[in-house]
Structure 1
């Protein structure tokens, strides 16, 4: 009997360990990322959303949104932001499409050098960009004096709407080029030859084949460029010193301004700005869905 008990104690009872599945391992790896997203994206958004419904007495109401609807000054800032974003996105898209097409026609060595230069330009924004525009196109800027002596410009003011629009278009170009450059690789050179054999020209190729094939990427680029312009703040503030009325400057004036401190209005404008971008995303998805349905038919 004692031998049997000793034998049982000596035996090691092995409990099989359950191995983690692939999706469980992936979820564990994602936990730090989810924590960061919650800390720096979700919690600030929830805080701003709640703050947009609080009045000066910390009572829940729609006073902030009513103030925005009734304020002509705030509605002007919304219109100016949308106008700047739409025009700069449209002009930037046209120039970027032409630039990306020409870039794909270069040799590999030249192409790498140009892409390196574009990458450098894409990081040149904000206050340094505004400072560069002031040096070149300011009242006593190098290019301003040169062009005035030649007689090409008269009365141009870089601190006005036209100067701000020019700067917006400028910082949209590197972004558009980097996003649209890989898209042209999807076009098979044989497609153009087939269109020519069927009696079509370059216009027919681009309208019937080229642009429809690239439509998804082009719409996505439009969305990113529009959001990039709507959220521009540092370069606008540095160039105009806050005198041009746009949404980002108005939000800052209500949350950190010396004249008025209205965090509720600033939160409501932030939610409205996010709502405009979400609306653009929805329109983009609807257009893409319609195009996919058209091709499936």
Structure 2
């Protein structure tokens, strides 16, 4: 038996009087009430980003366009011609690139080894948990851990010297230099690579390998024609993420090096210098330089991430 329902039109909604479902959607097919609740839930995070990221960032960068008396000037940009600043930029770029490449290569090997473990198994759970913790471990505690490991009179230093006669700190403390920062930077870069690249490894479908084998291809053909092309965007995206993470790191480097060598420490010196008066505003110029580099990197990462997501659907 067919039941005829009478409807009353209220705006864009339909109110039935029978057994038909209530249609409260607008012209676009979406519920205005549900969409409003979603934006309300996003509000706390939006306020946090605005107050603690956006506003301080804008203030820091804008300070580079004013002198000590508050007058607008472009003279602060002359700091980019300073050989010391250029050397610090070079040190940051070198440190970030080398640590990112080492972390990426080691991370790929770890991810490849994890593909043989069950996705919901104990080994995978332990590695995922450890990577999440170690990727966030930094600052003074990480610096102290490495000092206790390979510093003067540290455990590894003493063992290596007793077994081989080689003093790894023979030419000076290895940690207290830009090169020595590779140890802690790779320490938190490697687990970050595992976290960011493992989903791409999980996205490789067994059917692709079976299809290559069915067509007479070898495992080498599979990796050259399928595996590597599919994983390349994710790999380079993760590499950019590692570079950006190392480029902006400060706390660990500040605990180990006090005389500059990388841009974050150069900004600190500009803000706290007691020997060169009136250079505090140049820190905003250096921050602007870092923001420009980070914006370029994040734009490239976004493009690669969108390409990677096509293979993960």
Q: TM-score range with shorter-chain normalisation? A: 0.7 to 0.9
Q: Distance in 2 between matches of 1:139 and 1:272?
A: 36
Q: 1:101 aligns with which of 89, 112, 133?
A: 112
Cα deviation for residue 152 of structure 1 reads 7.6
Deviations 1:101-153 (A, max 9, x none): 11121241222123223233223221111111111101211101211222284
Deviations 1:2-44 (A, max 9, x none): xxxxxxxxxxxxx99x985443443344344333332222222
- 1:1-297 equivalences in 2 (<5 Å): 20-66=32-78, 68-107=79-118, 108-151=121-164, 153-156=166-169, 157-240=174-257, 242-260=258-276, 262-285=279-302
Q: Secondary structure at the match of 2:137?
A: coil
Relative distance call for 1:30 and 1:54 in structure 2 (3 A) is: same
Relative distance call for 1:265 and 1:39 in structure 2 (3 A) is: same
Task: Work out whether residues 253 and 260 of structure 1, in 8 Å CA contact, stay in contact via their aligned partners in 2.
Answer: no
Q: Distance in 1 between matches of 2:116 and 2:36?
A: 46
Task: Work out whether residues 103 and 193 of structure 2, in 8 Å CA contact, stay in contact via their aligned partners in 1.
Answer: yes
Relative distance call for 1:153 and 1:225 in structure 2 (3 A) is: farther
Cα deviation for residue 100 of structure 1 reads 1.0
Root-mean-square deviation (CA, aligned residues, Å) is: 2.7
Q: Distance in 2 between matches of 1:114 and 1:38?
A: 34
Q: Distance in 1 between matches of 2:110 and 2:298?
A: 25
Cα deviation for residue 286 of structure 1 reads 5.8
Higher RCO (CA 8 Å, separation ≥ 6 residues): 1
Q: Distance in 1 between matches of 2:131 and 2:300?
A: 30
Residue 9 of structure 1: aligned partner = none
Task: Work out whether residues 110 and 194 of structure 2, in 8 Å CA contact, stay in contact via their aligned partners in 1.
Answer: yes
Task: Work out whether residues 104 and 111 of structure 1, in 8 Å CA contact, stay in contact via their aligned partners in 2.
Answer: no
Q: Distance in 1 between matches of 2:203 and 2:33?
A: 37
Q: Secondary structure at the match of 1:61?
A: coil
Q: Distance in 2 between matches of 1:129 and 1:135?
A: 10
Q: Distance in 2 between matches of 1:173 and 1:153?
A: 27
Q: Distance in 2 between matches of 1:152 and 1:112?
A: 40
Relative distance call for 1:174 and 1:61 in structure 2 (3 A) is: same
33-42 vs 97-106, greater mean Cα deviation:
33-42
Task: Work out whether residues 176 and 225 of structure 1, in 8 Å CA contact, stay in contact via their aligned partners in 2.
Answer: yes
Cα deviation for residue 244 of structure 1 reads 4.5
More helix per residue = 1
Unaligned ranges ≥5, structure 2 = 1-9, 14-23, 25-31
Task: Work out whether residues 126 and 234 of structure 1, in 8 Å CA contact, stay in contact via their aligned partners in 2.
Answer: yes
Task: Work out whether residues 130 and 238 of structure 1, in 8 Å CA contact, stay in contact via their aligned partners in 2.
Answer: yes
Cα deviation for residue 95 of structure 1 reads 0.6
Q: Distance in 2 between matches of 1:249 and 1:177?
A: 28
Unaligned ranges ≥5, structure 1 = 1-14
Q: Secondary structure at the match of 2:221?
A: helix
